[in-house]
Structure 1
Amino acid sequence: MTGIEDFRKFYARLMAANAGSPDPRLQTVFAEVPREAFLGPGPWTIIAGNGKITTPSADPAHIYQNVLVALDDDKGINNGEPFLHAMWIGKLAPRPGEAVCHIGAGTGYYTAVLARLVSPGGTVTAFELDKKLAELARQNLEAYGNATVVHGDAVTSPLPPSDIIYVNAGVVAPPAGWLKALRPGGRMIFPWRPAERVPFAVMVTRGEKGFACHPFMRSWFIPCVGASTADSAAKIPTREEAARSRSIWLIEDRQPDSTATAIFEHVWFSSETPSARD
């Protein structure tokens, strides 16, 4: 019979192929990190469209495919779509020695993937607001010495200086503190949800002249507590305006102008690249 290692290796090949990353370590890491160790005891609840399916047994072979596994059904929290996370992590291209901040870590599965990708020498600080999930993440990540779990609010707490910020909760705009925490050359991916019908994943890169951004696909995540509601004075973008955004600015550094596609209390989005503003 086929062993679990064969299922993991094939799953990892699927993840790497979907990610399209040139880094061969991505496949290696997805094969090595045991997904079942972060899901609690089986059988597991699989989310399929608007329905749910329970795996026929606790055999981990059932969860080595591109399926959403429920973590807290009442709160709508799941383990995330593996294809999506593999692609996003591939775009961030974590390197050994880098510092990562993972916001919305859940039970720590993708935290573990990131921890392996920045080893040796790198670190991952994982924020999780839900107390139960944070405790489970701490337990699950005990074998990953370079990962630290913080049970706290990443919106109001200062983030450590980071080469990568990986956000797994939807925000109307990234808090100014997240942008400031990015080191030069740092990358951030966050789910942007300024309006119900404007759901984008956005890649941000900090350069010498500001923060370049690129909305690259649609995405739906649970709302980020404390950062999912816009103030009444905000300029909310249409889907077309959001898609045209190419830079993000701190209002304390630059005031919004005619290129603004979205304006919030502390940050605004522009249709121009940072270099075009010189």
Structure 2
Amino acid sequence: MSKIEDIRKFYARLMAANAASSDPRLEQVFATVPREAFLGPGPWTIVAGSGRVTTPSADPAHIYQNVLVALDADKGINNGEPFLHAMWIGKLAPKPGEAVTHVGAGTGYYSAVLARLVSPGGTVTAFELEGRLADLARKNLEIYGNATVIHGDAVTRPLPPSDIIYVNAGVVAPPVGWLKALRPGGRMIFPWRPSERVPLAVMVTRTEKGFACDPFMRSWFIPCIGASVADLAAKIPTPEQATRSRSIWLTQHKAPDRTATAIFGDVWFSTKDVRAKPGS
């Protein structure tokens, strides 16, 4: 075994342990998808707090750690924190045959991980708004026959019917189109940023009774263009209200009521748990 293969295997073991996933494929996929192939030639710029550090060489060993690697430092775009993504992907539990939509794919690293996890039979549609990054993602994902890159705006363009929607840009609320694109039983994770005081990651599951939501950790991502600014009529939640949200509703189906924790145009959040049994 070469040094880099050994390093990748240990990195993958750390990812799987942090994800606490019951799917053994998660470790295998992180061990076999080469992160350096999605970062451009080294040395690489590592984002460390409010500063930056350059790796001492182009040895890929430097980036098989839980570090943020800059993709476009001027715009604050990075490759993402591996521990966080491993945990989120593990929480989504992708299965072979499922259709994934990845919003904010960057250069495609986590799109590739998802593509492997939904194989055989599954697909990944990766949206990236930045043209240069979309071009790189398209090249990087050529060897993954089940991944397609779209250079476009996932907020205004319709998403394909999806079992999983994986969002890597902060929104004040998920657009109606995203919720409608979820198939029954479909899952979505998105960074919820209704205000500076509320940076949360939210898991949404489409059930028979509606969209269940679970704010499960603090999280910060760059804003999603077109969906990151609330209008003046919005009801902005306090941090406590945001963490108590248990469902998301479309106003066309149900008007906001006293359970509302946040209201953003056509979408509102509620303390009502659509998965709760009657009388509980």
Query: 2:94 maps to what in 1?
Result: 94
Q: State the distance in 2 between where 1:266 and 1:42 align.
A: 45
The offset of 1:49, in angstroms, is 1.1
Tell me how many residue pairs correspond in the alignment: 278
Q: Write the mapping of 1:37-52 to structure 2, written as runs, cut at 5 A.
A: 37-52=37-52
Query: 1:29 maps to what in 2?
Result: 29
The offset of 1:47, in angstroms, is 0.8
Could you state the TM-score of these two structures normalised by the residue count of structure 1?
0.99
Q: State the distance in 2 between where 1:276 and 1:262 align.
A: 20
Secondary structure of the 1:274 match is coil
Q: State the distance in 2 between where 1:93 and 1:228 align.
A: 27
Unaligned runs of at least 5 residues, structure 2 = none
Could you state the TM-score of these two structures normalised by the residue count of structure 2?
0.98
1:255 pairs with 2:255: yes
Q: 1:114-153: per-residue Cα shift (whole Å, max 9, x none)?
A: 0000000000000000000000000000000000000000
Secondary structure of the 1:217 match is strand
Query: 1:188 maps to what in 2?
Result: 188
Q: State the distance in 1 between where 2:50 and 2:272 align.
A: 39
Q: State the distance in 1 between where 2:73 and 2:269 align.
A: 35
Query: 2:177 maps to what in 1?
Result: 177
Q: Write the mapping of 1:65-104 to structure 2, written as runs, cut at 5 A.
A: 65-104=65-104
The offset of 1:276, in angstroms, is 5.4
The offset of 1:24, in angstroms, is 0.2
Structure 2 vs 1, CA of residues 30 and 180 (structure 1 numbering), >3 Å: closer, same or farther?
same
Query: 2:149 maps to what in 1?
Result: 149
**4+ runs deviating over 2 angstroms:** 275-278
1:4 pairs with 2:4: yes
Q: 1:178-206: per-residue Cα shift (whole Å, max 9, x none)?
A: 00000000000000000011000000000
Q: 1:223-263: per-residue Cα shift (whole Å, max 9, x none)?
A: 00000000100000000000000000011000000000000
Q: State the distance in 1 between where 2:190 and 2:17 align.
A: 22
Query: 1:246 maps to what in 2?
Result: 246
> What is the Cα-based RMSD across aligned positions, in Å?
1.1
Identity of aligned residues (%): 82
Secondary structure of the 2:171 match is coil
